[in-house]
Structure 1
Amino acid sequence: MPQITDIPARIAALDPEQQACCQRLYEISAAAGRLELPPSMHAWTERQFGSLGAVREQHMLKVTNCWTLEGALFNPTRARRPALGHTGDAAIDAWVAAELREDIFAQPLRTTPADPFGRIEGRHCITASNIAKYDGWHGVVICREPHPLRFDAEQIVDYIATAWRWIEAAHRADPSAIYPLITWNCLPKSGASLAHGHLQVALGAGQPYAQVERWRQAAQRYRHEHGRAYAEDMHQAHAALGLALPPVAGCRRLAHLAPARNREMVMLAPAQGHPAAALARALAATLLALRDQRGVRAFNAALAFPPLRPDGRDWGGLPAFARVGDRGDALSIRSDLGVMELYGMAVITADPFELVG
């Protein structure tokens, strides 16, 4: 299987058009780190990292998206650093069961507030108004299945469809609110404050959410400078490098070259049809594969959409899109985010090629 450190060689082997596409989008450089181990560390290093050679010379890859300025430093060796152990499913189930003994989402009609327009009910979920809001219109999609990891494709599609109906209701109540964002934090490591499965949905006014606007501005500048669609070329570059997965519901899926977190997948909605419905099916297929095949338990997912009406900004070249990333050991007290992620660039320990292998 290819490795992320093979990317420079893979780009060099592409035809000129594909090379140009990759080089327009990404700045990529390799680095090597070397160290000397004292004999007193040899036994521990072999136990922890598998061999002395694994750390004596380490090969890293730095990838920066030239347009969004998102970037990642890849070094899979860092995944073998000392940790507190791995939380298995039995421990997760026990933690969830303990948390659900006092489950405020168990009876949402009694224990959660409603939005001014009421509640939206799906087959597998119901909405509530978020009691501690981060925007004027901010709701919660409460899953009927309380365990946060017990979901299937039908349930995920229903969660997203219900969230979209909430967005439509909020827009009817407040036509100035036009910027939709659907998010999902699963388990504490992801930032979820409650064990009971739930998604969040927001509809902003005044300006797009900043991370979405970053991508929109990148697509606008890219089209202005190169006369090409940013999302199309982003997919072309990933496909040429072997980092594209089969599409689902017309959504192109990419193992992201400039991820915010490990095992990040990007889904790009098709131009035709309802983007929320297509992204829901693509997200379902992606999350089920991450959970069942890659062992992902704690994750963040987001679905971003163009505004519900024209806002004077150029949204051409950027379709609705979704991102999902792995947050690591679900119950670990150790953060997977540090100063580099906050003020430098993302440090990534998982190889994107494992997602397409």
Structure 2
Amino acid sequence: MSAGGITDHDSVAYSLIANQDPSCDEDFQVRTRMSRSSLAPPTLNTFAGRLRGSQRLAFLGVLTVFLLVIIWLLSNMDTYSTSPAANGLQNGKVSKYLSSSSKIYENGVDSTVERLSLKSDGSLRPSDLRTNVILQYDWYHQNCYKDLQGEMLTRSIQDIYTKLQLLRESEAEDCRLIWNIFDSMFRIEAIKAPIVLPKPFQKEVKGWLDNDEKLFEQVNHQVVFKIVSKGTFEETVFNPLRAKRPVSKPSMDPLEYIKNLTESSAPNCDFCKYKDHTAADTFGRIDNDYSASCSNTFKLAKFHGLFFPKEHHPLNLSLVQLRSLFLYTSKQWFQKAFETDPSQKYPSLMWDALPHAGASQVHPHIHGVLDAYQYVGGFESWHQVSIQYFKKFQRSFWSDFVQLHVALGLSISHGEAIALVPIVARKDHEFMILSTKLNEDVVSLIYNVMQAYLHKLGVYCFSSGAVYPKLGYTNADGDTGMPVIFRIGSRGTCTSVGSDVSSLELYTINNINSDLAKTYNGLVEQVNSEEAKN
């Protein structure tokens, strides 16, 4: 059909008529003109034209609304998974968990309890954190992992993978909820990585493994586990065989090395003579019986302070000294800096122990920085993830993150704080301590982690980072910041000339060579021994 609604056949007929001799049959011409005019659309000055015009306008209106809806839907999509499992947090069979309460089973009896992270008054914020979870690991052990044999119920990465599969396939909704939480945050892969060893090389590899035949057999059947954050795309990779390799003894006893280094560095230590050999902030120093502050001479931010104990030894820090460092000196310094410039709202801390971990001086010292717009480095990535998670699911990322680790058996609670062995670790033997606020419980866990490093895990060099809640928050402020988060991990052998950081950690993946189960057990043993003393 051509323009005006005329078919090709009619166009030919019209052409023939236009070229007809005047003597042509007049009746034929009239009939043809009538046929042609009846195919043209009615003009708008007729009733039929107005009716058909309004229909066209209505169709265009519906089409416009449809396109606007499509544009709106596309604009509200985010980076999180839209898989059915992730959507289970919003709808489907587990939608009841979006209410403030639901049923669980205790000794076979129904009971209604407050669930996970949600509040019935609708006042949930992205920074909210719940550490006193309702369902503890024992419940998940009995109800979600019934198919596992007792000897398999460890906290190694292999069994963490198995537990996640059981959670996904469970008929119990409380179990599937944990899988949905995991799937909304992370992706896990178990990757078979077989190799072929030439006979001459087999002897060498066996030597690396202390001629352990069982370990050597596993070399040919390696499985690599990869966990990827769906929010930051950060990758953490575990090869269980690497954690089982025999550890060679260092050329020098690390404790003897630390003792000698401590004694030789004391006479020229700037922090031991801080009043004369360190810079002060414009608002002065924070100073008390056990710790003090100074300003970093070569700053990385407007407010860049250093908090240090009055004990020179890098590792022999008592609980009293740690309380002074965190609860008084660091807290007061951040408040003073904020009062000096209220635009500086985001507090972050960094702490390296001993030169191998990057410390510029042997005397322990913690960096504190404030920023006007964000937390420093990787912490800001997690801050943004928590905000997007809240927008998508109306749930607290941090409460769900804690509940996930509780269900996997990777948490140790202490009062209002909780320590996790994170499945997305950045360094070996990593711990993550979380709390709604900086308090005695946080400091007690930091102390126990450090004691576990020294006496249970053989870790002497470490690096750590932390954030505190945003300063000056009001209800009118759209950004609530984060809870207290303290991350700490091993930096390898202190006496080694080799680096524990390579292109892997700097630019690609986090390679974890320690066993999650060993890390967890080290802290549990330390906490139990500390409680036994009291």
- 1:29 maps to 2:194: no
- 1:353 maps to 2:517: yes
Number of residues of Structure 1 aligned to a counterpart in Structure 2: 352
Pick closer, same or farther for the CA change 1:267–1:48 going to 2, 3 Å. same
Partner of 2:30: none
Provide structure 1 residue ranges, at least 5 long, that are not aligned to the other structure.
Answer: none
Aligned-residue CA RMSD (Å):
2.2
Partner of 1:11: 164
Partner of 1:184: 351
- 1:108 maps to 2:274: yes
Q: Per residue, is there more helix in 1 or in 2?
A: 2
Aligned residue identity for 2:387: Q
Report the Cα distance in structure 2 between the residues aligned to 1:119 and 1:302, rounded to whole angstroms: 22
Pick closer, same or farther for the CA change 1:77–1:99 going to 2, 3 Å. farther
Aligned residue identity for 2:467: A
Contact 2:430–2:489, Cα closer than 8 Å, also in 1: yes
Partner of 2:408: 241
Aligned residue identity for 1:296: V
Deviation digits for residues 58-94 of structure 1 (CA, Å, limit 9, x no counterpart)? 2211011222333200124335499783652112222
The higher radius of gyration belongs to 2
CA shift, 1:210, in A, is: 3.3
Alignment of 1:1-357 (within 5 A): 1-14=154-167, 15-50=175-210, 51=212, 52-79=216-243, 80=245, 85=250, 87=252, 88-161=254-327, 162-245=329-412, 247-270=413-436, 274-275=437-438, 277-310=440-473, 312-315=477-480, 318-357=482-521
Aligned residue identity for 1:153: L
Aligned residue identity for 1:145: E
Deviation digits for residues 203-249 of structure 1 (CA, Å, limit 9, x no counterpart)? 2224332322211111111111122110111111111111112x123
CA shift, 1:275, in A, is: 2.4
Report the Cα distance in structure 2 between the residues aligned to 1:113 and 1:233, rounded to whole angstroms: 43
Aligned residue identity for 2:187: E
Contact 1:248–1:282, Cα closer than 8 Å, also in 2: yes
Contact 1:138–1:202, Cα closer than 8 Å, also in 2: yes
Report the Cα distance in structure 1 between the residues aligned to 2:486 and 2:251, rounded to whole angstroms: 28
Provide structure 2 residue ranges, at least 5 long, that are not aligned to the other structure.
Answer: 1-153, 168-174, 522-534
Report the Cα distance in structure 2 between the residues aligned to 1:319 and 1:109, rounded to whole angstroms: 33
Contact 2:157–2:515, Cα closer than 8 Å, also in 1: yes
Report the Cα distance in structure 2 between the residues aligned to 1:208 and 1:181, rounded to whole angstroms: 6
Q: Per residue, is there more strand in 1 or in 2?
A: 1
- TM-score scaled by length of structure 2: 0.62
CA shift, 1:300, in A, is: 1.4
Contact 1:147–1:196, Cα closer than 8 Å, also in 2: yes
Using the TM superposition, name which of 255-264 and 78-87 deviates more: 78-87
Matched residues, percent identical? 26
Pick closer, same or farther for the CA change 1:86–1:202 going to 2, 3 Å. farther
- TM-score scaled by length of structure 1: 0.91
